[in-house]
Structure 1
Amino acid sequence: MSGTSEGPTPTADLVPPATTDGPPKPPTHRGGGSAPGEPYRAAFDRAPLAMAAIGPDGTVITANDAFRALFVPPAGPDGKPGTGPVGRPAADLVDLGSDARTRQGYQEVLRGQRARLRCSRRIKHPDGHAMWARITVSPLPDPAGPAAALLSVSDISARRELQARLRHLQMHDPVTRLPNRTLFFERLSGALETSSFDDTGTGRIGLCYLDLDGFKAVNDTLGHRIGDRLLAAVAERLTRCADEAGSARATTPLAARLGGDEFALLVEDSTGTEQLADLAGTLLRTLQEPFDIAGQRLSLSASIGVVERHAAGTTATGLMQAADTTLYWAKADGKARWTLFDPERNAHRMTRQALASSLRPALEREEFVLEYQPLVELGDGTLRGVEALVRWEHPQFGTLTPNRFIGLAEEDGSIVQLGRWVLRTACRQARRWQLDHPGAEPVFVSVNVAVRQVWDSDLVADVDAILAETGLDARLLQLELTESAVMGSAGRPLQALQALSDMGVRIAIDDFGTGYSNLAYLSRLPVSTLKLDGSFVRGFRYEDGAHPNPADEVIVETLIQLAHRLGLTVTAECVETAGQAERLRRIGCDTGQGWLYSRPVAPDRIPPLLVTRPVRPPDRAA
């Protein structure tokens, strides 16, 4: 019988020296291979455990019947028996030289430097079948005798078969019979390690991570039994796609069920994004074909996140995070599609997460500042007010404008704390300008208010307390709310707006014209100002010698007239040219705001405008 390295990598246990360790030893002997006592020899020969005595040079000195049965080949055509194990190197018989660690441990046992060597080997029986054997080599106590060690071989095939079955059950999904999450990550980690250091492959790895669209509805309406059968049918199609994709390549993609209705196809040694895109497209087309389950025709689709990259420097966690993010994009983009991982899009998402997690600490670290943009009377250029615009001086990303973080603040509720800080800072600054320039006409400060500030805090109490704290007259404070936030207001928001108006605070609707544009609501709201969205004003601009769209001017003029009939003033945003300002003035717009007059500036840039009136825009072409 000969040893072979077929099967899993052999393992060896090297046990430190111990005089009492090891199995029972046959009596040592000094010559001829015969034991000195017949009873002991008979027990050795007839023992069911295959045993052999090994000399210092590693050859078999004597062996019992069980050992000879394993290693004596059948008689040849001439009827002569095959060569027995005696006199042959034991290491060759049981494959003890296939790896360096086992080979070294075996030599140490022969020299008496180790108490025991244990290893498992898959060896071939003389009758042709293979078996798993547990090999044990222990030194014999009499160094002067010809036998240096005792070798025993026990059949562990049944145990290995049971272990293999248990591992298969542990590593495979019972519903689809696909590899499960545990086996998938084991293969993924191994593939990343191999691809990173093996020069024979492409050094790349790809992953299609898919989720079934609408599977929950099938489960909820038809029951889990039908749902499980549908999952099994999906698994069959995924396996077929993987087999077809691997038919012309050295490796076949691994299809696995990661849990629920989530599956993955792992492509080792991928050749690039084109290969993964082709596979993802095939998966989509295959899954979109109807399924016949228990007499019912079911249709579903899938969303697939596709990632393909160099294996070097990639971790299993990093790859799965990228795949999960890309799967989310595929669903957000409309489902029933595949989406390729985009590093730039991911960087934006990561930035968004980083900003969201640092919003509240940024308030405590006082990383926010206010800039102010003038609101100018279109008739005579007089400065009427300023709009306070918050900026985030982020230590990593630099100065951020509100569109980068206000939405995040509204999502996590920190907008209430941030809004309160903006309101207090703006009122304090407006009062400071008033005190520093008592001879100048006071200007109002306009502060943006998110609708969540109205719902999640006592805005009326906050405004009242801040006005009292700063000493600013309520008539010099304007609060801006978006059109969609105030249209249809009822209950608490309407009560808050009315209470603020009763205090003397101005209420303005920001970005008017982008939402409902229902002027009928304005008669029921305590609003004093409409701020026309910049999209209207941009239509007034001459570009490349062409005249602006006359319809824009008619719409704006009509809005202004209706607002004036309701007793409201109108502010035009995004005024960039003198021509725009002139046309807005001609059709009756009250105030303008935009780069024609000034960009948002630091507080110390406003005082010169208070004492130099009218505000004269820089020379620009209309």
Structure 2
Amino acid sequence: MSDGEKIAMLDQLEQSGLGWFWASDADGNLTYLSAAIAERLDVPLDELIGQLLSTTFAPIEGEGRTKSLSLMLGARKAFSGFAVRAAKRPEGAVLRLAGQPAFNGKKFAGFRGTGADITDEYHREEETARLAKFDSLTGLSNRHRMAQMIDGTLTAFKQAKRNCAIMMLDLDRFKQVNDTLGHAAGDELLKQVSDRLQRSIERECEIGRLGGDEFQVMIPDLDDRGELGEIAMKIIDMLKQPYSLDDGRCVIGASVGIAIAPHDGVTRDEVVRSADLALYAAKNGGRGQYRFFSGELENEAIFRRRLEEDLGEAVREDQLFLKYQPMVDAKTKGVCALEAHICWMHSQRGEIDEQEFASILDGASQVIEVGNWAIAEACRQASDWPESVRVAVNVPVPLFGSSDFVDQVAAALQNADMAANRLELEISEAVFFGDTNSVDRTLAQLFKLGVRLTLDEFGSGYSSLAYLRRAPFDSIKIDENLIEEAERREGDELGLIKAIVALAGALEMDTIANGIESSALLSSLEECHVRFVQGPLFAEPMKRDVVETELIGDAWKIEPSGDRTKRARRRTVFRKIQVIHDDHSYEVTLRNLSKTGALIQGLADVPKGTQFVVDLGGGQLAVATVIRTNGDTQGLEFEQQLIDDGSGGLCTRNRVSPYALASAGAPLAALSQGDYKAMPGGMLGQGGSIPQFGYANTVNSEAA
């Protein structure tokens, strides 16, 4: 084959795209480039010839690969597999280059090489790599990438002694929307949740969707629980705003668990587990809450599982009892009905209130047994009330779907000898997710029985007009989330409530608004013509004897008595703690606790102005000054206010750093629940000074 034939063959090969070629001189300048390469890169050939190879082509993986290419050319060694783009067209075609050093005798003469177009292959690989790291629905990091990032961050931060917060999020009522509207609507909702979540955190963070309706957030260099609580509350507030989907409007919520490394764990497994326990506690405490991890949460989780196991025994041994919350006529303020709430007098835990009991019962195997008991007991007690007062009982979805539900209701009415229209059953729209024929049959039987039916939590998920047209409801109970939004943003939300009232009126149904906490909100609801109202503004759930006392005599009326929020669920404050003064630690009794101070008892002769470090346990140290003293009791004022812990309690913004403990020789580990009176820094010195304060007789007698 002649040289001309060889050149012609190479030209044909280049034009076909099966083979492209390039060459450089000893200085790395391009001396030859296939015209097809320049055309594919969309750069004129004359702008490429004579340019340095290392600056003409930009490796797609950034600066590190540019240096590698330069070093490879400088080392005069063969290379292959370099994926590059034209530096002038960074979004253009992708090439894979290979090169071989050329020598003229022993003198280096440059490189000779080939190129191949791998644009399509590169994009396929890039998409595969993206899908391996990111959630295909929301674009957030997926479970695998979040695990890698948290692992890498905590490993690096451990060496640098830096903090890192992990949040676990779970959506409330998402399944209800997903089941009602279908997975397409659920997917759209998750996209909107993702967008809101990213907008709600205005600092460096990594957000991931772990699957389903579970999300995770990593926030580096943040251990201030005050700031973390504000972020969590902002997330909760943003996610509970109404969503507009193609198939309708819905309202959901979110619960958040928070853990901080290294306080709550050093490794990813430890910190994520701590955040999971905090999330579990937040969900059990009610919807729309956040919780910080503490060492006692694990015991709470174990005890809760035991409570769930003890439910059957609670029914058989008469440990359950009912409290009643009045439902008031908005115009007359007369009590027209009392809503029954189930409570539990536990032999070890004491009274478990209606809110906590509802979270225990949710999903428990005894839900049908407990639900039947509640209806029977409510009818039995209400049979002694005036005939003008009804009793309302919530019906869990599993109970509504049980085969003998209607028979159980009929038996409860018969045994109590009570008129059926005095029993009001509150039914969630979630019952409509079941078999349509079965649901319609049960509703028809209840209607025939004569009980009143209320559609509960209307507006909490996907509130369909079809429910109201199909079912013989007497009233609609507006979801508390809509009521809360009406108080915060009067315009749109009040308009929605007016529309619900108008709809109910057209269908000859009453409306009920629950959770009313302020006089202003009550006035707004009255203007919307809501007929029945209930909430803390009128009364909290009360025991049977209080109800029966109020029902004696004339008709029971309750006037709203000042703005009152729901009763905060608080942990017991009456407990032993340590206070530190100079180089001594004293055990005292904590009588009460507020954001600004505390009341302690047990020390004698403590003058005003004395400074203590109050050890609240779990690494929580608060500097405080005695501002009043009376015998063995001192009032303390904190130097820095405590903050909400997300569950009705209080905690310090910051805690003892495990890094400080480690620097003194202790192993780096999550904080224990013990006291920190001997922490590094000399709270308790080694000297033998005499304690300045002695114990009062009350402490000695208690200790004895």
User: TM-score, with normalisation over the residues of structure 1?
Assistant: 0.44
Which structure: larger Rg? 1
